[in-house]
Amino acid sequence: MVSGLDYNSLLQVLNSASSSVRGLDQQQAEAQLKSWEAEKGFHYLLQSIYIDTKLSLQIRWLAIICLKNGIERYWRPTRINAITKEEKLEIRKRLFNNLDESNNQLTIQNAHLISKITRLDFPVEWPTLFEDIIQILESSSSSSSLNNQILTIRLHNLMIITNQILKILATVRIGKAKLMMQTKAPLLFPHLVKFYNIFFNKWINNDFNITTMEIGYIFLKNIRRLIVDGYEYQNRDKYIQEFMELSLQHFQKLLLLHESNSLDLLEKYIKCYVKLYYNLVRDKTCSFILLSSSKNILLTLLSLLQQKASLIYNLEEEANDSDFWEKIAIKSFIIMKTITNYVFKESRTNIVKQKNDQIEIQQSIDLLKSNFFTLDLIENLINLITKWYLKLKPIDLENWNDNPEEWFNDEASLNWEFQIRKCSENYFQDLSIHFNEFISQFIMNKIENLNNENIDSITKDSILCIFQLSSNSISKKCNFNQLLIDYFIPQASIIGGDINSKLIKRRVCLIINEWLDVKIESNIRIEIYKFILNLLSDSNNDKVVKLTAIQTLKYLIDDWEFRKRDFQPFIDDIIKHMLILLDSLSTVETKIFILNTLSLLLERTNPLINEKILIDIVTVVPVLWQKTDNPNEMIIKNSLLRILKDLIISLNKNSSLIHDIVIPLIPICCDSKSDYYSLLCEDGLELWSSIMKTIDSNNMANSKLFDPELFEILVNCLINWTEILPLVLTIIRSYCLISVDIFNNELGLKIFVILKGYLKTMRDDSVFLTSSILEISIMQSSVNKEMFYINLLKSGLFEEMIEYLVRDTDSPYCEIKVSLPLLRLMIERPDLLITNMITSTIFNRLLRNLTKFAKNSFDPKVRKLYLLGLLSLYQGNFIQLESVVIIPSERINDINEVEYELEKISKDAGISTVLVLYFKKIVDLSLSFVEEIRESPSGDLKSYHKQTAYDDHDLLPYEPEHEDEEEQEQEQEYALEIKIPPTEERLRYTQLLRSFDPVRKVFFKDALRGIVASVYDKIGRVLPAEVIEELEHACS
């Protein structure tokens, strides 16, 4: 293989690499090219081969691709093996050498290459870029020479390159490039306009010569980019003012020409003019308005909307010009929308861009208010929109009839910027807000004349549409509740399947959707539920009507004012009809839509749904699951899993009725060896979590949920799904609430090892769940509890928690939560903490932070847990009095001095010293706590049952007996809507706290009295006399 790099060797390697036969020679050639990338001169030689037009296209193509990729990788001077400054200079000198290239694809690749260099080198390394382009243009400035075919090609290729340059410079947000482009733009602009004029006049007077039209068009594209991105204030430049006048003349001329000639290039010109106006209005609204031609441009666009309204309305999808005129109309409406909002909307985003030009902004607003937005114009505009653009087209009705599901999906999902009817609806809503007084009267007049027999059903639908779209503007001028009951629902309740009936039924549903934000009275909502049920049960109604009814139902259920008790009488029947409709659907989108609505309904109406109905829903799942193995329909399985999750929660302790269906789905979704793993694992974990939360304690003995295979899957999910770590931890917590024995094996040890690795980098929610898991496990009773502690210590998680707690922090939110399981361990097994403490200095830092957290904690149950845990350290024989070094208590905060003393003695002596040192502080905190609280003799207190920031909000004890009467009175309406029966897991947690939580079961004075009595003889002498007196009083 060739080893030395020169022109001939590179040419030989490129020839081998571009071979159409894939073989060893080609692979070696590719490897050689890769190795040459770092060599000096490689990219210059690639350019030399590309510009040699005598070589084959394949070799030149590969050369330009390699060069372009090399620029991307090695042009920046900071890159390893960067191209040298000298080589870059030589490459830049020849960038425009191939302007007579006849192959368009090679020209485009060269344009991309030059634009990449421009982005990196302009203006610092290549300040003459724009002058270079101008010089090439000037060399072709003779009008007669433009007949020369080669010169024409050169200009065409130059404009392709310039277009890419302007495009990439417009994207610059940091640096001088865009600013310098705006400095240079006035130099280039007159030249572009001159050539544009030459070619435009040439082709328009020469029978539409395609080549001439093409080059004129590419000049127009560059002018469009330069006007929008090359100037900050277009209205201040006289050449732009002149060109915009010229562009309008040409635009109007081409519109007339298009009536008799629909050449593609002619349409490209028209689109380019409209895009120029569109981009200028969107990016520089103020500058556009202050152009002398702006009003005439807007009037031309409005005239176009008027003239082409009938054509656009009657267009068929397969028609040649359907897409063209609809796109022009959409752009025109968006221009009008932007202008309207700029003038009448108080918050104008582009004011921020032009904050130093308040005078011009105000001038532009006043100009349009006085000279453009007249009442006549608004009236004509509204009539135009209502008469043509809001109406359903014949093609809409045809698609509705032929493909009802697809038509419904399109209506529900289409972006308003891509469909003319949606776009006009959006603009009409703006008009209804800005011209409230005028439009409200207009709408009410239209509504009053709806019963006119001369109005056809399509027109009636468009009139109802403007009422639908005007909820924000006319809500105060009409009684919607009364109108709905007296007119809309009766009109839509007429039995029949003809198009007139279907139109009004669909439209009334859409009106309800839009007017939900208006206060709809509860008794009216009940009438709406009846109306929806009638639509779903009537066999005359087609899929579009029924799907729209369900869409309305979804909005109603998801609304803040939804009351499930009002909806209860309709639940069963509506679900039955939803299931019937689901069975008849064929498209993925509509099936998912029904399933998601069902899921929402289950969530919002829990626990009111009849158990039989819930089981009926479950029976649908296996059938749909089997039908959706097609790759295009797999996503339906996600919705089915969510449905099952909501069904499990609704069934609660009776969820065991469907365990035979749901539990086998866990390995199918969550096992990494499953085909469904990547798609369904997250939803499978959600389902798993809901099963664990609702499983009845009496039905756990033979449950497959405790199979070892499932625990293996759970551990793998803990490793592989860190982005949803809280969900996996929730499942682990659910298991340990049932039995702590899940940690008494190798898998339990593995879980602890994984958590140890995560602890210091976890998000707060995961830290809280990890702490909760350990707290619950420590409170649990077990015949094999010792194994739990062995695994906790062996895994390193215990040591990691200590390290987590001894670090300095100004905001110990998570540290307090992590300390709670440690405190419970100290209460149950203080010896484990003492014997597994690495050094006495670590022990000192731990007690320092724990006492600080105890002092600063506002939650009484957390403070009590701190104090019980700290006092528990004094229960055993951990204080070796003979080896204690007495450190004065006033030096307790001087950590350096304390640690200096501790390092001089043994670990055991140091621990004894630390215990003695902190005894007074712990006693002081205990006495303050005794003064603040008034526990019952059992050790309980009402404030221990109140929710605080350190509680797990998704797992709270169920204790209605501890709720304040005032809280119960406040728990009306909204709170009752989200209130559901407690899950079995919540009841298990409540029972655990009642049985084993020392905060609720230990009378603190007794605990304090017992500890003080047991250690008083040893360390009582370190306490001041006044503290001893307080202790005696508190413990008496």
**pLDDT-derived band at 63, boundaries 50, 70, 90:** very high
Longest dimension (CA), the chain: 116
Residue recorded with tokens 């724990």: 850
Residue 477 DSSP one-character state: T
Report which of 574, 568, 571, 526 is spatially closest to residue 549, judged by C-alpha positions.
574
Question: Residues 916-962: pLDDT tens digits?
Answer: 889 889 989 999 999 999 999 999 999 999 988 889 888 999 988 77
Is residue 807 predicted with pLDDT exceeding 70?
yes
Going from the C-alpha of 366 to that of each of 241, 342, 351, 359, 373, the distances in angstroms are: 20, 11, 15, 11, 10
Report which of 432, 420, 232, 454 is spatially closest to residue 327, judged by C-alpha positions.
420
Percent helix, percent strand, percent coil in the chain, to nearest 5: 75, 0, 25
Is residue 269 predicted with pLDDT exceeding 70?
yes
Greater pLDDT, 737 or 888: 737
pTM of the model: 0.87
Neighbours of 968 (CB within 10 A): 11
Is residue 348 predicted with pLDDT exceeding 70?
no
Structure token pair of residue 550: 């369900």
What pLDDT, on the 0 to 100 scale, is given for residue 563? 93
What pLDDT, on the 0 to 100 scale, is given for residue 875? 85
**pLDDT-derived band at 315, boundaries 50, 70, 90:** confident
Report which of 279, 291, 283 is spatially closest to residue 350, judged by C-alpha positions.
283
Greater pLDDT, 648 or 980: 648
**Ranges of each domain in the chain:** 1-91, 95-230, 838-939+968-1036
Is residue 148 predicted with pLDDT exceeding 90?
no
Question: Residues 817-831: pLDDT tens digits?
Answer: 999 999 999 999 999
DSSP for 328-357, please give it: HHHHHHHHHHHHHHHHH-S--HHHHHTTT-
* Contact partners, residue 64, CB within 8 Å, separation at least 6: 46, 50, 106, 109, 110, 113
**pLDDT-derived band at 68, boundaries 50, 70, 90:** very high
What mean pLDDT is predicted for residues 332-359? 78
**pLDDT-derived band at 351, boundaries 50, 70, 90:** very low
Phi, psi of 326 (to 5 degrees): -65, -40
With b meaning 16 or more CB within 10 Å and e meaning fewer, what string describes 573-608?
A: ebbebbbebbeebebbbbbbbbbebbbbbbbbbbee
* Contact partners, residue 757, CB within 8 Å, separation at least 6: none
* Contact partners, residue 877, CB within 8 Å, separation at least 6: none
Report which of 73, 7, 84 is spatially closest to residue 34, judged by C-alpha positions.
73
Question: Residues 186-208: pLDDT tens digits?
Answer: 999 999 999 999 999 999 988 78
Computed over every residue of the chain, the mean pLDDT equals: 91
Is residue 771 predicted with pLDDT exceeding 60?
yes
What is the C-alpha to C-alpha distance for residues 653 and 525, in angstroms, rounded to an integer?
A: 32
What pLDDT, on the 0 to 100 scale, is given for residue 143? 46
What is the C-alpha to C-alpha distance for residues 80 and 661, in angstroms, rounded to an integer?
A: 58
Residue pair 606/650 in contact by the 8 Å Cβ criterion: yes
Is residue 895 predicted with pLDDT exceeding 90?
no
Ramachandran category for residue 542: left, alpha or beta (phi over 0 → left; psi -120 to 50 → alpha): beta
Displacement of CA 252 from its chain's centroid (Å): 44
